[in-house]
């Protein structure tokens, strides 16, 4: 049985190369960019086939580049070492805000003091060796652990130089901690003050934008200006179905035709309805009261009866 044709066909399938040119291959990101112009005839004739062929060409070029990379043998099999990416991707998160300078940094900048990094190791003359400046068996604990200490002449009987040195060291640590917390509080206060000022500016800008007759609709927009957010008025459409108009009309009639609530007498003598009887009487009598109003009405009736006679 002659299988040479089958073997040749399989070899051709394995050694597939891309026929396209101007392909930008970034093996580090496993990405291929096709900068070739789009063929309008093939694109219009069959869009699906054109997209599949373009994707196939890119994948073939990427696989060819991966196979040409140096390989490393591992227990899981040969692995290719990817190079560093060449495509600059955008940053996922915004840049961190710079920290405000501390009190010492401001003083150093005003005086022109250059910051120098202190070494972690210092030379010990007694041990003739480099020892740690801080930490366990550090140089800063030398006075606490030395076997012989000088005692002042006016010291108390129970004076302990080791405890005094330890107290001074703890006092310095507490001072540094207070300064650190003070720097953090000042930084937080500056940040909150900046945010407050920013909110005030945004509110002022929003007020000026809607101060025109068109409520800022036809005003010239600034570069990078955000759209105002607010409550929008909702209007019913001019053309509605008969069923919706019927429902709205019935709802309005039910409100008008509803049973009136019982009137509640207020402490001033009026009722809780829309009509305040006491206020109406005071207005009709021009502040004289209900008796004067009744007398006036009686007088008018008597005059009218005399005229009729």
Hey, which residues does 131 pair with through a beta bridge? Answer: 122
CA–CA dist 123, 115 (Å, integer)? 22
CA–CA dist 97, 191 (Å, integer)? 10
CA–CA dist 261, 202 (Å, integer)? 48
CA–CA dist 36, 57 (Å, integer)? 12
CA dihedral (255, 260, 261, 264) positive or negative: positive
CA–CA dist 154, 42 (Å, integer)? 103
Own/partner long-range contacts of 217-225 (Cβ < 8 Å, ≥24 apart):
none
Dump pLDDT digits (tens) for 17-62.
556 677 888 888 888 988 888 888 888 888 898 889 889 988 988 8
The pTM is what? 0.33
The whole-number pLDDT of residue 17 equals 53
**Taking a C-beta distance cutoff of 8 angstroms, is the pair 26, 86 a contact?**
yes
CA–CA dist 174, 181 (Å, integer)? 11
Residues 6+ apart with CB under 8 A from 284: 293
The whole-number pLDDT of residue 13 equals 56
CA–CA dist 233, 296 (Å, integer)? 53
Tokens of 235: 């209007």
Q: Which stretches of the chain score pLDDT less than 50?
A: 263, 268-272
**Taking a C-beta distance cutoff of 8 angstroms, is the pair 122, 133 a contact?**
yes
Tokens of 9: 């066909």
In Å, what is the CA distance from 38 to each residue of 25, 42, 46, 59, 98? 19, 9, 13, 18, 46
CA–CA dist 307, 262 (Å, integer)? 44
**Taking a C-beta distance cutoff of 8 angstroms, is the pair 165, 146 a contact?**
no
**Taking a C-beta distance cutoff of 8 angstroms, is the pair 169, 194 a contact?**
no
CA–CA dist 151, 292 (Å, integer)? 107
CA–CA dist 238, 248 (Å, integer)? 14
């Amino acid at each position: 049985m002659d299988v040479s044709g089958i073997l040749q066909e399989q070899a051709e399938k394995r050694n597939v190369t891309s026929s396209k040119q101007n392909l930008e291959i970034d093996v580090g990101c496993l990405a291929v960019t096709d900068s070739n112009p789009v063929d309008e005839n093939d694109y219009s004739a069959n869009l699906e086939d054109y997209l599949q062929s373009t994707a196939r060409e890119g994948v073939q070029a990427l696989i060819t580049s991966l196979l040409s990379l140096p390989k490393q043998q591992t227990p899981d099999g040969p692995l290719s070492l990817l190079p560093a990416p060449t495509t600059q991707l955008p940053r996922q998160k915004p840049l961190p805000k710079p920290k405000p300078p501390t009190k010492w940094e401001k003083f150093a900048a005003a005086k022109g003091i250059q910051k120098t990094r202190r070494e972690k190791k210092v030379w010990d003359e007694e041990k003739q060796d480099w020892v740690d400046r801080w930490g366990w068996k550090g140089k800063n604990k030398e006075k606490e652990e030395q076997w012989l200490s000088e005692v002042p002449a006016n010291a108390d009987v129970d004076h302990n130089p080791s405890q005094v040195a330890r107290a001074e060291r703890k006092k310095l640590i507490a001072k540094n901690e207070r300064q650190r917390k003070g720097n953090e509080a000042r930084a937080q206060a500056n940040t909150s003050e900046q945010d407050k000022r920013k909110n005030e500016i945004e509110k002022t800008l929003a007020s000026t934008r809607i101060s025109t007759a068109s409520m800022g609709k036809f005003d010239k927009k600034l570069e990078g200006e955000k759209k105002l957010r607010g409550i929008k008025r909702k209007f019913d459409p001019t053309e509605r179905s008969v069923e919706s108009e019927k429902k709205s009309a019935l709802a309005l009639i039910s409100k008008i035709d509803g049973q009136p609530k019982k009137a509640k007498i207020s402490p001033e003598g009026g009722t809780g309805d829309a009509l305040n009887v006491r206020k109406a009487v005071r207005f009709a009598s021009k502040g004289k009261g209900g008796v004067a109003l009744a007398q006036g009405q009686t007088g008018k009736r008597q005059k009218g009866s005399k005229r009729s006679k």
